[in-house]
């Protein structure tokens, strides 16, 4: 098993749909993240969870709703998205939050989202 | 403003033709400089972390170096399987967040 697994790998949804992205990490890490990757842009940090508590929300629109039931699982609930939300959504984890210590962040394979 | 800039944006090499990718940073109080490799349609794969100027790390054909202003990823005698996008990120600044560059797309032709 890879360290961080994401499902689904590809998702096409209409603007009125509700869907969820799922992430699971098998590394025993305490922190999990959602990043957005768009073409020609740097990775954008969306949310940070530390010991399943949200510690950071980088002004992400409310149509993106994260959920972290435990330190190993992370969800991103999607509703009433816009076409400009189409991107690669990456889940990641690290031993401790990026704001402390010498942490390496490990990424999953990503979920390609297309909003039509 | 804390920033990471990578150059070139794209690089095409012949197999065996060595070269370097550049990552310039203006991150105050840098606490780590990270290199990742990203294959098309996949997530970034961790390569190296460098913490202080003068530090070097190697892995197969790749060597990463760090100065007080920039980092280089040297690729020696590349092979087609080295083709990927290479991402650089610096941690530091007021928030100690990871700040990513936009990457260098490397294509190695046989």
Residue of B nearest to A40 (CA): B102
Whether B3 contacts chain A with CB within 8 A: no
**What confidence score (pLDDT) does residue A99 get?**
59
CB contact under 8 A, A110 and B42: yes
Q: Could you give the CA distance from residue A109 to residue A37 in angstroms, rounded to a whole number? A: 12
Q: Which residues contact A33 (CB under 8 A, 6 or more apart)?
A: A45, A46, A47, A48, A49, A91, A92, A93, A94, A98, A105
| pLDDT (0 to 100) of residue A92 | 95
Instruction: Give pairs for A49-52: CB < 8 Å, separation 24+.
Output: A49/A74, A50/A96, A50/A97
Interface touch B36/A107, C-beta < 8 Å:
yes
Of B49, B97, B102, the CB nearest to A45: B97
Reply yes or no on whether the pLDDT at B28 is more than 70.
yes
Model pLDDT for residues A59-107, shown as the tens digit of each residue:
899 999 999 999 999 999 999 999 999 999 999 999 887 655 567 899 9
In angstroms, the Cα distances linking A47 to A31, A53, A64, A65, B50 are: 11, 11, 10, 10, 25
Residues of B in contact with A105 (CB under 8 A): 34, 46, 98
**Structure confidence by residue, pLDDT tens digits, A11-60:** 999 998 999 999 999 999 999 999 999 988 999 999 999 888 888 888 89
Taking an 8 Å cut-off on Cβ atoms, the answer to whether B34 and A104 are in contact is: yes
Asked if A42 lies within 8 A of B99 by C-beta distance, the reply is: yes
Counts for chain A of helices (H) and strands (E), in that order:
0, 11
Nearest CA to B31 among B97, B104, B100, B102? B97
Residue A1 predicted with pLDDT over 70: no
Answer with the residue of higher pLDDT: B20 or B30: B20
From B22, B14, B18, select the one nearest B102 (Cα to Cα): B22
């Amino acid at each position: 098993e890879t360290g961080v697994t994401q499902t689904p790998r590809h998702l096409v949804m209409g603007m009125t749909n509700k869907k969820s992205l799922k992430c699971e990490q098998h590394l025993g890490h305490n922190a999990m993240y959602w990043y957005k990757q768009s073409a020609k842009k740097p990775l954008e940090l969306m949310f940070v969870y530390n010991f399943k508590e949200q510690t950071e929300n980088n002004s992400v629109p409310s149509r993106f709703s994260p959920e972290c039931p435990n330190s190993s699982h992370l969800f991103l609930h999607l509703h009433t998205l816009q076409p400009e939300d189409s991107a690669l959504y990456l889940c990641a984890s690290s031993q401790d939050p990026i704001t402390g210590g010498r942490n390496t962040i490990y990424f999953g394979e990503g979920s390609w989202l297309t909003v039509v | 403003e804390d920033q990471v800039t990578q150059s070139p944006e794209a690089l095409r090499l012949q197999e065996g033709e060595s070269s370097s990718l550049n990552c310039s940073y203006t991150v105050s109080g840098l606490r780590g400089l990270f290199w990742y490799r990203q294959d098309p349609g996949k997530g970034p794969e961790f390569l190296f972390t460098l913490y202080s100027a003068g530090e070097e790390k190697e892995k197969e054909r790749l060597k990463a170096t760090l100065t007080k202003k920039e980092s280089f990823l040297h690729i020696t005698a590349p092979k087609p399987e080295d083709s990927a996008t290479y991402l650089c990120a610096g941690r530091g600044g007021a928030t100690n967040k990871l700040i990513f560059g936009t990457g260098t797309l490397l294509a190695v032709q046989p």
